[in-house]
């Protein structure tokens, strides 16, 4: 698929499908649109009237144009009220048009949308919406379903000189797709070993430095919390640390830490039927977003140093499994009574955060499919955000808005740490059910000293059961775009 920015007016564009964006309630066919309608023998007006198209967000329609016309199909798509126009609206509208064009077997698609913010930003989100909407993961199907024509060329009308923005969008989309593929692949396909292989491949693709700590290395560093989780698996744990260093002096130094449970059975507190145990291949979505962001950043090459970290393992059962009640010692010396082996993510993250904290960076973000409680609180579309630093939290608010990914800031309510008090150890790994995503965040906070830190609980949005705009059913690659925007952002660290 090729994206081509062009100054060709929509009146003169020729190809299979022309998509026009309309603002709500201003569906006037005046100026060039009147001329276009005339050229198409009144088809545009007919379509708008027939489907009572008003330009509301998410509304769209497509129809055939009479033969002999320079275009085969015309698509109208709603953009809502002009004052409410957001980049995300255009990302979604572009996805809608691409899906329609694909379904109608079009090879070429012309997109005529208004500019939002800047031509570059507009071209970027249109490209992202189309790339992400058309991606289909058929790696585990025995047959491909590509019948007939596939979209070959997208012309971005009125957006000339946006080639660099289009390239950026494609690099970011490739990162999102890597994250989707890692999350979608089952636990008999993505394992700690293959995650390490993926890191090796990324390092050679992007020129990253790479350090993979094996079990013995983790033992030497005293990573008792991570290794406690790993001890029942037949597969070796892998502590992965990829480093992107810019050519010059880095403006900032950051760490992205992802929860990397390639499967979470719950351990001896095994997940019961109905708990979604068969979905627990997604429990490495934090690590997947970390790798996806690494892939994008490795190509975008910002002047920021970034450490991509994941303590990867499975949470299994065997004769070697942690007993509920075991006391583990993390690499910062803190002791943890494991009152629930299913609260394993925070144990692996504890040692990963201690490791990241020791690097002396400007900020650390962790992403984790950490708690069902966060899904109960915020639903499937919104991730939870906790932070010790208002400045970095504000950077995330901007980064996520541009990305079209939703986060809601949650409280680090210190009083709730009382729920994690243990009699003989420094803390338990699980508190009472109420506020379960908050106590999980407070637990993680014990492993970060002074580095400004953001914790993202992404258990909800990393997966979708049905097609949703540019996300097809399955893994969404959630988090990658926000992470990339955050790393690229010019906001000075507070």
Q: Among all residues, which ones are annotated catalytic?
A: 271, 346
Listed ranges 11-19, 43-51, 262-270, 444-452: which one lies at the site for Mn ion (CB under 5 A): 262-270
Beta bridge partners of 109: 17, 154
Q: How far apart are CA 92 and CA 99, in angstroms?
A: 11
Residue 446 has φ and ψ, to the nearest 5°, of -65, -15
340 binds ligand BES (CB under 6 A): yes
- Which run of H or of E encompasses 239? strand 238-244
CA atoms within 13 Å, Cβ hemisphere of 422: 19
Tell me: does residue 55 bind ligand BES (CB under 6 A): no
Residue 149 tokens read as 């024509």
Instruction: Give the pairing type, strands 253-258 and 363-368.
Output: parallel
Binding site for Zn ion (CB under 5 A): 261, 264, 283, 345
Q: Decide if residue 264 touches Mn ion (CB under 5 A).
A: yes
Contacts with Mn ion in 333-362 (CB under 5 A)? 342, 344
Pick the closer one to ligand BES by CB: 24 or 426. 426
Tell me the closest approach of the beta carbon of residue 265 to Mn ion, in angstroms: 8
371 touches, from ligand BES, Zn ion, Mn ion, none (C-beta below 5 to 8 Å by class): ligand BES
Q: For residue 139, what are the CA distances in angstroms to 63, 176, 180, 205?
A: 33, 16, 12, 22
Q: Output 151 or 459, the one with its CB closest to ligand BES.
A: 459
342 versus 357: smaller Cβ distance to Mn ion: 342
Angle at 252 between CA 248 and CA 258, to 5 degrees: 115
Q: Do 454 and 479 meet the contact criterion of CB atoms below 8 Å apart? A: no
Nearer Cβ to Zn ion (405/457): 457
Q: Which of 108, 112, 233, 371 binds ligand BES (CB under 6 A)?
A: 371
HSE-CB at 412 with a 13 A cutoff on CA atoms is 17
Nearer to Mn ion, 47 or 440 (CB): 440
Min CB(339)–ligand BES separation in Å = 9
Cα distance between residue 314 and residue 480, in whole Å: 23
DSSP alpha helix (H) spans, 207-330: 215-220, 224-230, 285-300
Identify whether the C-beta of residue 285 lies closer than 8 Å to the C-beta of residue 179: yes
- Dihedral of the alpha carbons of 385, 389, 392, 396, in degrees to the nearest 10: 20
Least separation in angstroms between residue 356's CB and ligand BES is 20
Binding ligand BES by CB under 6 A: which of 430, 446, 451, 485?
A: 430
Least separation, in Å, of the C-beta of 393 and Zn ion? 24
* Total residues binding ligand BES (CB under 6 A): 17
Q: Are 311 and 239 in contact (CB under 8 A)?
A: yes
Q: Which residue is nearest to ligand BES (CB)?
A: 372
- Which window, 135-143, 183-191, 289-297, 335-343, contacts ligand BES (CB under 6 A)? 335-343
Q: What is the DSSP letter of 471?
A: B
State the maximum Cα–Cα separation within the chain, in Å, rounded to a whole number.
83
The stretch near Mn ion (CB under 5 A) out of 36-44, 206-214, 261-269, 452-460 is 261-269
Number of residues that bind Mn ion (CB under 5 A): 3
Residues 273-302, interacting with ligand BES (CB under 6 A): 276, 283
Of 75 and 343, CB closest to ligand BES: 343
Of 47, 157, 343, 483, the one binding ligand BES (CB under 6 A) is: 343
DSSP assignment string, 428-442:
ES---STTHHHHHHH
State in angstroms the smallest separation of the CB of 229 from ligand BES.
Answer: 10
Q: Pairing relation of β-strands 60-64 and 382-387?
A: unpaired
324 touching ligand BES, by CB under 6 A: no
Minimum distance, C-beta of residue 266 to Mn ion, in the bound complex (Å): 5
What is the rounded CA–CA span in Å between residue 385 and residue 375?
Answer: 12
Q: Which is nearer to Zn ion, 181 or 283 (CB)?
A: 283
Closer by beta carbon to Mn ion, 213 or else 343: 343
CA atoms within 13 A on the CB side of 176: 33
Percent helix, strand and coil across the chain, each to the nearest 5: 40, 20, 40
Scan residues 161-190 and list those touching Mn ion (CB under 5 A).
Answer: none
Binding site for Mn ion (CB under 5 A): 264, 342, 344
Binding site for ligand BES (CB under 6 A): 264, 276, 283, 340, 342-345, 369-373, 375, 430, 436, 459
């Amino acid at each position: 698929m090729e994206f081509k920015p062009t100054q060709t007016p929509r009146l003169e564009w020729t190809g299979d499908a022309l998509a026009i964006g309309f603002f709500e309630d201003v569906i006037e066919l005046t100026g060039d649109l009147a001329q276009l309608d005339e050229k198409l023998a009144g088809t545009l007006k007919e379509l708008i009237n027939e489907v009572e198209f008003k330009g509301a967000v998410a509304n769209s329609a497509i129809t055939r144009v009479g033969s002999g016309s320079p275009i085969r199909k015309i698509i109208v798509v709603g953009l809502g009220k002009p004052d409410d126009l957001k980049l995300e609206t255009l990302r979604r509208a572009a996805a809608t048009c691409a899906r329609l064009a694909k379904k109608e077997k079009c090879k070429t698609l012309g997109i005529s949308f208004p500019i939002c913010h800047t031509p570059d930003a507009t071209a970027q989100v249109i490209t992202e919406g189309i790339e992400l909407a058309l991606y289909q993961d058929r790696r585990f199907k025995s047959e491909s379903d590509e019948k007939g024509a596939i979209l070959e060329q997208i012309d971005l009308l009125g957006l000339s000189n946006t080639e660099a923005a289009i390239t950026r969008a494609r690099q970011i989309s490739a990162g999102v797709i890597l994250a989707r593929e890692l999350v979608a692949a089952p636990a008999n396909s993505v394992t700690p070993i293959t995650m390490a292989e993926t890191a090796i491949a990324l390092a050679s693709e992007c020129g990253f430095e790479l350090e993979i700590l094996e079990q013995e290395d983790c033992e030497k560093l005293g990573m008792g919390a991570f290794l406690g989780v790993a001890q029942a698996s037949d597969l070796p744990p892998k502590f992965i640390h990829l480093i992107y260093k810019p050519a010059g002096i880095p403006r900032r130094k950051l760490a992205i830490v992802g929860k990397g449970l390639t499967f979470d059975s719950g351990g001896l507190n095994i997940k019961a039927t109905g708990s979604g145990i068969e979905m627990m291949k997604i429990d490495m979505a934090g690590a997947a977003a970390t790798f996806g962001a690494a892939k994008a950043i490795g190509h975008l090459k910002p002047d920021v140093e970034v450490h991509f970290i994941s303590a990867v393992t499975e949470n299994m059962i065997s004769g070697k499994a942690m007993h509920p009640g075991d006391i583990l010692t993390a690499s910062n010396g803190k002791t943890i009574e494991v009152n629930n082996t299913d609260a394993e993510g925070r144990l692996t993250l504890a040692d990963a955060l201690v490791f990241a904290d020791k690097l002396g960076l400007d900020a650390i973000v962790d992403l984790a499919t950490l708690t069902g409680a966060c899904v109960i609180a915020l639903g499937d579309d919104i991730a939870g955000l906790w932070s010790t630093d208002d400045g970095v939290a504000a950077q995330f608010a901007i980064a996520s808005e541009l990305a079209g990914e939703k986060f809601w800031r949650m409280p680090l309510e210190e009083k709730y740490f009382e729920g994690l008090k243990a009699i003989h150890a420094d803390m338990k790994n699980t508190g009472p059910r109420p506020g379960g995503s908050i106590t999980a965040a407070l637990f993680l906070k014990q492993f970060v000293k002074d580095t400004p830190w953001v914790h993202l609980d992404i258990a909800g949005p990393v997966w979708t059961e049905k097609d949703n705009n540019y996300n097809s059913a399955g893994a969404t690659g959630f988090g990658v775009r926000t992470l990339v925007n955050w790393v690229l952002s010019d906001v000075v660290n507070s």
